[in-house]
Amino acid sequence: MSYQVLARKYRPQKFSEVIGQDHVTRTLKNALEQGRTAHGYIFSGHRGIGKTTIARILAAALNCRSSDKPVTEPCGICESCTEIRAGNSVDVIEIDAATNRGIDEIRELREAARYRPARDRFKIYILDEAHQITDAAFNALLKTLEEPPGHIVFMLATTQPEDIPQTIRSRCQHFSFRAVRFEDILGQLRAIAAHEKISADEDALALLAEAGDGSMRDALSIMDQAIASTGGKLTADEVRQLVGTVPSGVMEEVMQAVAQSASENILQIVDRLISDGQSPTHFARQMVRFLRNSIVAKVAGGESSLLQISSDERQRVSRVAESFSEEDLTRHLQIMLRTHSELGYRQEQRFHLELGLLKLAHAQKLLPLEQILSEAGVVPAQSGRPTVVPDIRRTELPSTARTNAVSPFAADSARKVGGKPQLATDSTPAAPRPAASGITTQAIVMGATALETAPAEPTAQPALATSLTEQVAPALLDALNNGGHRVLASMLEAGEWQVLGSDVVIKVSASETLIDMSLGADAKRLLIATASGLLGRPAKVKVIPGVVAPNAPRKESSANGNSSKLNGSGRSRVEQEPVVQKMKELFGAEIRTVIDYKERR
């Protein structure tokens, strides 16, 4: 006799043998016992979870000849049960709706349904993949399905119940099948391995159950292939190699490199995986699952039932969860989900995988906006556990040292124009940023490996400001000349330069209209980036007419007097607000428009 695959050999023949679908089997057994069976059923759900199997068991229970009425469990030995199990019963007709989906086939089915069964109590039609039937064919079946003869029972199995017309669904009892739980699949695989006298490691069976992804049939098919491949003994490494999965240790290694922001290690790991023939899409999918499990371990603990993985991988995700905060793991999962979705339609999949993993490393350098605002005193600090980040750049400082960090946007702009942002050097001491009494300023040197703290000074000394002016002016003029803004450079060169804290004020002998015409967006962006790089902090460059004082509010022309009033006293009042001043200091914000709603009313 030819070999029978495990998925067919161990196919359930009774309701009690079905695993993972207790809500369906219990309802059907009660209906059989009470004599309340319907004439139409819809079985929907994931592939390989028992839809067609339960349809056959129900057909056998309705036609079992061990009793003069339907039974709750088929006997399995009478002619009807054996013929249904073999698939050659005259009165139980299985139709593949994927190929018999047209109106002509349904008309033939409707005509044949008028005749009584040849031997059994019911003539039963099992339509597999019923969602493939056309709308016209469903319409042809509608009347027969609504008021069928008493000897007819329809069973529709589908993976896409939403594609079945509502008129059909309303005439049938709909049973939604669930994906089989990881523990149930693992227990079934363990029992089958023992019955087949196959030596299998627990981790190997766990990998098979995980590869099944909720489908009992898929898990058995992979197990059949693994037995043939290994020669009788199943080990985790051999199963992992067979199904093409990456060892979970590699993913833990990737997350360790992410925690250390070791970009080179990440690229080497990707190169090793690609050289071994691993698929970037499959690896990205595994990383998504690994990060999801890490989040579950962080939130619910490593022993949570939500983790449907082996014991070895439980330990790995628990170690990763200890190295990151919940917010960081959530951000990493979001990045990998986006990377996995992009890999499906990208040409250079390796490059996009490398980019996605590098984003994980760079995400370690980001601080939540809420944390920045709370440390600046703009919003109240939220209570909760501190973020656990092993990176030295994210190390928590004392409360007296957390203030005045360099804006990453200004630092990036300075890097693009060739500047080297720093707060203080031996030769060119920078004017410290204003800080509250008793608060120390956090000094950050771009590219350094540690954080230094130095006492803050309330205001810049005149000598330091003069020294900075002598350095800032030539650098900004050179940047303008190199950037092709020579006319603007000549106009600013004749002006009066001052460095006031984070502001570079240039007083020129020109009208405000001429200044606005000469100072374009590109030139202004270049000036701000260069000044920020020199000062080591977010800077602003103000070019004002010579007749206006440096600290006077800017007045804009308008057709009516309201605009002047709003941009005069209103702007001054807004600029004095502590929150506005703090936002300007942190992010280099600029007040564009001031609207007084009271004045408008």
**Same CATH fold, 401-552 and 248-363?**
no
Give the 3-state secondary structure percentages of the chain, helix then strand then coil, rounded to 5. Answer: 55, 10, 40
Measured CA to CA, the distance from residue 388 to residue 12 in angstroms comes to 50
**Burial, 595: exposed, middle or buried (Cβ in 10 Å; 0-12, 13-18, 19+)?**
exposed
Measured CA to CA, the distance from residue 197 to residue 192 in angstroms comes to 8
Place of tokens 């009066």: 496
Cα 188 versus chain centre, distance: 32
- Paired strand residues for 152: 123
Measured CA to CA, the distance from residue 270 to residue 518 in angstroms comes to 50
Grouping H, G, I as helix, E, B as strand and the rest as coil, residue 499 is strand
CATH number at 248-363: 1.20.272.10
- Paired strand residues for 545: 508
Q: 294 or 240: whose pLDDT is higher?
A: 294
Is the model's pLDDT at 558 over the cut of 50?
no
Measured CA to CA, the distance from residue 267 to residue 306 in angstroms comes to 32
pLDDT for 379: 55
- pTM given for the model: 0.58
pLDDT for 269: 92
pLDDT for 432: 36
Q: Give the single-character DSSP code of 556.
A: -
Is the model's pLDDT at 110 over the cut of 50?
yes
Task: Order across the sheet with 92-96: list the strands.
Answer: 92-96, 123-128, 152-158, 40-44, 173-176
Is the model's pLDDT at 28 over the cut of 90?
yes
pLDDT tens for each residue of 37-65:
999 999 999 889 999 999 999 999 999 98
Least confident span in 3-7, 60-64, 195-199, 405-409: 405-409
Measured CA to CA, the distance from residue 373 to residue 425 in angstroms comes to 28
Measured CA to CA, the distance from residue 328 to residue 319 in angstroms comes to 14
Measured CA to CA, the distance from residue 232 to residue 344 in angstroms comes to 36
Least confident span in 97-106, 109-118, 424-433, 588-597: 424-433
Closest-CA residue to 433 (of 592, 589, 591, 581):
581
CATH number at 6-176: 3.40.50.300
Structure confidence at residue 1 as a pLDDT band (50, 70, 90): low
Say if residues 189 and 208 touch (Cβ distance below 8 Å).
yes
Measured CA to CA, the distance from residue 384 to residue 325 in angstroms comes to 12
Which amino acid is located at 116 in the chain? Answer: R
Measured CA to CA, the distance from residue 164 to residue 145 in angstroms comes to 13
The structure tokens listed for 381 are: 């600090």
Say if residues 366 and 359 touch (Cβ distance below 8 Å).
no
Listed in sequence order, the residues at least 6 apart from 194 whose beta carbon sits closer than 8 Å to its beta carbon are none
pLDDT for 290: 92
Closest-CA residue to 567 (of 539, 592, 536):
592
Question: Is the CATH number of domain 182-243 1.10.8.60?
Answer: yes
Mean pLDDT along residues 556-572: 47
Is the model's pLDDT at 407 over the cut of 80?
no
Instruction: Give the CA distances from residue 139 to residues 44, 73, 148, in Å, rounded to whole numbers and listed in that order.
Output: 20, 34, 14
pLDDT tens for each residue of 68-88:
889 999 998 999 999 998 888
Dihedral angle, C-alpha 293, 299, 303, 309, nearest 10 °: -10
Measured CA to CA, the distance from residue 250 to residue 233 in angstroms comes to 24
Q: Considering the chain, what percentage of its residues have pLDDT values greater than 90?
A: 28
Letter string b/e over residues 432-470, b meaning 16 or more CB atoms within 10 A of that residue's CB: bbbbeeebbbbbbbeeeeeeeeeebeeebeeebbebbbe
pLDDT for 383: 43
pLDDT for 463: 54
Measured CA to CA, the distance from residue 533 to residue 589 in angstroms comes to 17
Round the CA-based radius of gyration of the chain to a whole number and report it: 37
- Paired strand residues for 128: 96, 157
Is the model's pLDDT at 431 over the cut of 70?
no
Ordered alpha helix ranges (H), 301-406: 311-323, 326-343, 349-363, 369-376
**Burial, 383: exposed, middle or buried (Cβ in 10 Å; 0-12, 13-18, 19+)?**
exposed
Is the model's pLDDT at 387 over the cut of 50?
no
Please state, as a whole number, how many other Cβ atoms lie within 10 Å of the Cβ of residue 514: 13
Measured CA to CA, the distance from residue 219 to residue 150 in angstroms comes to 39
Grouping H, G, I as helix, E, B as strand and the rest as coil, residue 43 is strand
Measured CA to CA, the distance from residue 467 to residue 460 in angstroms comes to 11
Q: Give the single-character DSSP code of 13.
A: -
| Superfamily (CATH) of domain 401-552 | DnaA, N-terminal domain (3.30.300.180)
pLDDT for 596: 63
Say if residues 444 and 406 touch (Cβ distance below 8 Å).
yes
Domain residue ranges in the chain:
6-176, 182-243, 248-363, 401-552
Which amino acid is located at 32 in the chain? Answer: L
Letter string b/e over residues 111-137, b meaning 16 or more CB atoms within 10 A of that residue's CB: eebeeebeebbbbbbbbbbbbbbeeeb
Least confident span in 174-178, 218-222, 506-510, 546-550: 546-550
The structure tokens listed for 174 are: 């709909």
**152-158/40-44 β-pairing:** parallel
Task: For the chain, give the mean pLDDT.
Answer: 78
Q: What is the H or E stretch that residue 92 is in?
A: strand 92-96
CB hemisphere CA count around 319 (13 angstroms): 14
